[in-house]
Amino acid sequence: MYDRLWAPHGLVRYGVAPDHPEVKNCTNKFDITAKDPRLRFFGNVNITTPAAASPIPHNLSLPFSSLLKNYTHLLFSSGCTIPTFHPALPPSDRCISALSFVHWYTQHPSVAHKPPPPLEKTEHVSIIGQGNVSLDVARMLLTPPSTLEKYDVPNSVLEVLRRSAVKRVSIIGRRGPLQAAFTVKELREMMNLEDAAMDPVDPALLAVPEGEKLTRQQQRTMQLLQKGSKNQPGTTPKSWSFEFFRSPTHLAPAPEDALSSTRPLSLTLAHTTLSDAKRAVPTGESSTLRTSMVVTALGHHGEPTPWYDSALGHVRTVGGRVVDEHGHTLRNVYASGWAAMGARGVLASTMMDAYAVADTILSDAFPGEFRKEDGDALGSVVPQGDVAKAAEPVLADVVESDDPPAEVEEGLREGVVTDYDGWKLVDAEEVRRGEVTGKERERMGWDEARTFLSQVKSNQ
């Protein structure tokens, strides 16, 4: 397993909100797998292609071609790492992606040397998008640091949050509450924030259209929105709101404060309604919202990799098998999760897809032999004639040894590449440091982790 990040677990470590520690329990499953001597983990390795460079300066860059002679099978499980921006909201120091905000509070290696968001100068944050990530960002901004400090939040992040001037968060979506993508669990957590209250939603927006049958989640969402937050509006130091049926069209400094370094922004919002196809369409009306910062949470797409389809935003696949630009299935090349399906679904659905693709790999490798425990055959084997249409074999038919490419072996010796045993040492030390201050863990960055591992090795 090759990982661009020096620590394993991907989004579990660098994407899950700190106040959701129960979601991270899936790492226990990975620990069991990682102890199998047949699996080797190589962290801090970026598989490079001519079209993509690593966003992490300390990565070992490994050309994709270096893998091909060392392995007989290949699986892309690289996710979707590039945020989708709104065309009316170009990125700037005051208009950032939710991904960069999440990377900041999880101490992602790609932002290690970038400045934190200027929260000490920010009173009002407008979040574009109404999915779970939007609510994660809002919750981090509105939750007292004294509550967050027991979780896996780096001290450097807590220091910024303690200086934060944020008093209000607006969560903006182009459609209505019945189309919002957040889950009931995340909405309930927002309703129960200890120092913040929700502005009541216009009752007209909570009226169910005649003849429309709601799902159970929609019913519970509407009930929560009708009930409102635990705290009454006006009784807390912070507040938040849902702005339904609003779509951004322009962002500019507020004209009357054009010379101020902390000038507010003017966010123009088109008013929308639903078409018969449930799509947001403009009504012709608009309004402006005075804000200090905009955070866009509009989804993600993949980055250029072999067999990446820019129109799809991910690797081209059929049933987990990678196909080339001509639609020919590539022998022994697979993809799973967001890399194969695009940025949709939660951890549980991604995990189930991974299991399914693993079954497909086994059924291709052992046709007629591999079966589920219930006796049903797994997957459909791709006819060899279709596989043979690929112009050239991609991977080796056989390999002479289990060794990784020479560049990786050298990286391991020099301490540039991490292995799983090294990670477990770092993991234990992070937990130990956290226990000293009564928190879940205190994270290390790459430089500190590399120094720590070097010291451990020299003491052995």
| DSSP three-state, residue 266 | strand
Q: How do residues 99-157 score in pLDDT, each as one tens digit?
A: 999 999 999 999 988 999 999 999 999 999 999 999 999 999 999 999 999 999 999 99
Report how far residue 313's alpha carbon sits from residue 126's, in angstroms, rounded to the nearest whole number: 26
CA quadruple 384, 387, 390, 395: dihedral positive or negative? negative
Model pLDDT, residue 120: 95
If pLDDT is split at 50, 70 and 90, which confidence band does 48 have?
A: confident
**Domains (range + CATH), the chain:** 2-80+305-446 (3.40.50.720), 85-298 (3.50.50.60)
Model pLDDT, residue 192: 98
* Token couple for 250: 């322009």
* 317 Rama sector, left if φ>0, alpha if ψ -120 to 50, beta otherwise: beta
Quick one: what percent of the chain has pLDDT higher than 70? 92
The amino acid that residue 180 corresponds to is A
Model pLDDT, residue 392: 54
With beta carbons less than 8 A apart as the criterion, state whether 224 and 191 touch: yes
CA angle 68, 72, 74 (to 5 degrees): 70
Model pLDDT, residue 251: 95
| 58 pLDDT above the threshold of 90 | yes
| 179 pLDDT above the threshold of 80 | yes
With beta carbons less than 8 A apart as the criterion, state whether 412 and 394 touch: no
H/E segment holding residue 290: strand 280-291
CB atoms within 10 A of CB 194: 13
If pLDDT is split at 50, 70 and 90, which confidence band does 390 have?
A: very low
* Token couple for 312: 């799809």
CA angle 245, 94, 301 (to 5 degrees): 65
With beta carbons less than 8 A apart as the criterion, state whether 314 and 339 touch: yes
Longest dimension (CA), the chain: 73
| DSSP three-state, residue 170 | strand
If pLDDT is split at 50, 70 and 90, which confidence band does 9 have?
A: very high
| 393 pLDDT above the threshold of 70 | no
With beta carbons less than 8 A apart as the criterion, state whether 91 and 122 touch: no
Report how far residue 92's alpha carbon sits from residue 344's, in angstroms, rounded to the nearest whole number: 26
Average pLDDT, the chain: 90
If pLDDT is split at 50, 70 and 90, which confidence band does 51 have?
A: low
Q: How do residues 327-341 score in pLDDT, each as one tens digit?
A: 889 999 999 999 999
Report how far residue 322's alpha carbon sits from residue 335's, in angstroms, rounded to the nearest whole number: 6
H/E segment holding residue 356: helix 347-365
Least confidently predicted of 259-268, 378-387, 398-407: 378-387
| 402 pLDDT above the threshold of 90 | no
Q: How do residues 194-250 score in pLDDT, each as one tens digit?
A: 999 999 999 999 999 888 999 999 999 999 999 999 999 999 999 999 999 999 999
| 53 pLDDT above the threshold of 80 | no
With beta carbons less than 8 A apart as the criterion, state whether 170 and 241 touch: yes
Q: List all residues 6 or more positions away from 181 whose beta carbon is below 8 Å from its beta carbon.
A: 129, 130, 131, 132
pTM: 0.90
If pLDDT is split at 50, 70 and 90, which confidence band does 37 have?
A: very high
Model pLDDT, residue 257: 56
Phi, psi of 406 (to 5 degrees): -60, -35
| DSSP three-state, residue 224 | helix
Report how far residue 361's alpha carbon sits from residue 355's, in angstroms, rounded to the nearest whole number: 10
Model pLDDT, residue 418: 98
If pLDDT is split at 50, 70 and 90, which confidence band does 176 have?
A: very high
Report the pLDDT averaged over residues 79-105. 94
Q: How do residues 370-382 score in pLDDT, each as one tens digit?
A: 655 443 433 333 4
* Token couple for 113: 């040397």
Least confidently predicted of 170-179, 197-206, 306-315: 306-315
With beta carbons less than 8 A apart as the criterion, state whether 392 and 415 touch: no
Q: Output the CA–CA distances (angstroms, integers) from residue 62 to 49, 67, 78, 80, in the order listed.
A: 9, 8, 15, 20
* Token couple for 91: 């990125």
Strand partners, 322: 317
Q: How do residues 251-295 score in pLDDT, each as one tens digit?
A: 998 876 554 556 799 999 999 999 999 999 999 999 999 999 999
345-373 core/surface letters (b: 16 or more CB in 10 A; e: else):
eeeeebeebbeebbbbbebbeeeeebeee
| DSSP three-state, residue 430 | helix
Q: What is the CA radius of gyration of the chain?
A: 24
What sections of 43-183 are H helices per DSSP?
98-105, 132-142, 145-148, 155-162
To which residue do tokens 């091909």 refer?
68
Tell me the CA end-to-end span of the chain in Å, nearest whole number: 26
